Amino acid sequence: GAVVSQHPSWVICKSGTSVKIECRSLDFQATTMFWYRQFPKQSLMLMATSNEGSKATYEQGVEKDKFLINHASLTLSTLTVTSAHPEDSSFYICSAQTGVTNEKLFFGSGTQLSVL
């Protein structure tokens, strides 16, 4: 299957700093990528949909100025958590869409963010 690489796999940062997470489709072009957030023992919550060359679409309740998404190429989307606080500590997961529908989705390995 297609490979989605997510980096870093874990990061620890101080409160108030910004953290960038990268999501790359390694062997295919992804016009659409999705960013999810997952708290311990909970399900994945869709944060935003990232479309190449256009602004991301955020889910209700997700602050666009807090979670900056950039999808500058067909193989790379980045999520920047700005001015991170301890409550932003979570597991962040991206997925990339290969087909014209959501059916061909491949997930990255996730990034565990811990904000001190």
* Contacting residues toward another protein, per CB under 8 A: 1, 4, 6, 9, 32, 34, 37, 41-46, 49, 59, 61, 91, 93, 95, 101-103, 105-110, 112
- Work out how close the CB of 4 gets to another protein at its nearest, in angstroms, rounded to a whole number: 8
- Work out how close the CB of 69 gets to another protein at its nearest, in angstroms, rounded to a whole number: 15
Closest by CA position to 91, among listed 19, 7, 10: 10
Closest by CA position to 22, among listed 13, 11, 31: 11
Give the whole-angstrom CA distance, residue 104 versus residue 87.
Answer: 32
- Work out how close the CB of 97 gets to another protein at its nearest, in angstroms, rounded to a whole number: 8
